[in-house]
């Protein structure tokens, strides 16, 4: 399975046009997916943000993670109705896991991710079991103090993990190497070449999608129009 690079965009107080431009730049630069979030509890802000994401799904083709305040099942439903592939919920803002149970029953157990503010407590086996039983697909952890013990823990943790990190102190290869880490969410690659980073990761035996075809060009079956065009060149 490919390890994913998932740039994030904090959309709170951000101009909509800038969000579209930044997301498009990430897609063009080689991002696998995009994480956009606005955890405001203000109803008008929520409504505006959901509209922005709905339009964003029409602009870019890569999957979108949407992070938003979710108090009720209806909140999660509205988030999915934007066209986002995954919904990320802050555990610190969650009033009950019953909301996730209802949403995972409706939308599937591979769609909801919980973001943890305190990863040290969040990696507790009993806690993770309760999340899994509620229908949580993966956890997102951040502000890591990378130690050998943590890396070993990430190798054997019960569920998939996405790490959010600015890469100002931590190394991308180190963060992506543990078995259960499925992706890195970062703002490091704003106006940077993600593909170049992926090629470097690939050289270090980290499986990433460099969007290279697994089939030789000579093996493609061309329609008559394309074949004639190539023969004229």
Please write the tens of the pLDDT for every residue from 101-121.
999 999 998 999 999 988 888
Task: Give me the pLDDT at residue 141, please.
Answer: 96
Residue 6 and residue 65 in contact, taking contact as beta carbons nearer than 8 Å: yes
Taking only the tens place, the pLDDT of each residue in 3-16 is 999 999 999 999 99
The CA–CA distances, whole Å, from 9 to 36, 164, 186, 215 equal 5, 12, 9, 34
Cα–Cα distance, 165 to 171 (Å, whole number): 10
Q: What are phi and psi of 175, to 5 degrees?
A: -70, -35
Q: Among 100-114, 142-156, 177-191, 209-223, whose mean pLDDT is lowest?
A: 209-223
Domain boundary assignment for the chain = 4-232
Read off the tokens for 231.
């023969």
Mean pLDDT of 57-85: 97
Question: Is 212's pLDDT higher than 80?
Answer: no
Domain 4-232 has CATH 3.20.20.70: yes
Residue 88 and residue 140 in contact, taking contact as beta carbons nearer than 8 Å: yes
Read off the tokens for 165.
């990190």
């Amino acid at each position: 399975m490919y390890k994913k690079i998932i740039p994030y965009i904090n959309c709170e107080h951000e101009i909509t046009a800038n969000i579209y431009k930044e997301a498009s730049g990430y897609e063009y630069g080689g991002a696998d997916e995009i994480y956009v979030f606005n955890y405001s509890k203000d109803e008008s802000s929520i409504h505006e943000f959901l509209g922005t994401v709905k339009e964003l799904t029409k602009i870019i083709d890569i999957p979108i993670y949407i992070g938003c305040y979710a108090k009720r099942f209806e909140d999660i439903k509205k988030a999915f109705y934007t066209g986002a592939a995954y919904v990320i919920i802050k555990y610190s803002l969650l009033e009950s896991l019953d909301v996730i149970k209802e949403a995972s029953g409706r939308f599937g157990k591979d769609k909801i991710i919980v973001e943890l503010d305190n990863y040290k407590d969040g990696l507790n086996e009993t806690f993770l079991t309760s999340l899994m039983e509620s229908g949580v697909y993966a956890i997102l952890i951040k502000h890591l103090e990378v130690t050998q013990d943590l890396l070993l823990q990430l190798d054997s943790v019960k569920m998939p993990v996405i790490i959010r990190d600015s890469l100002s102190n931590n190394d991308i290869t180190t963060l992506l190497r543990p078995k259960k880490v499925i992706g890195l969410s970062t703002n490091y690659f704003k106006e940077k070449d993600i593909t170049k980073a992926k090629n470097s990761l690939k050289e270090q035996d980290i499986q990433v999608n460099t969007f290279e075809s697994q089939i030789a060009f000579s093996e493609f079956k061309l329609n008559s129009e394309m074949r004639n065009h190539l023969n004229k060149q």
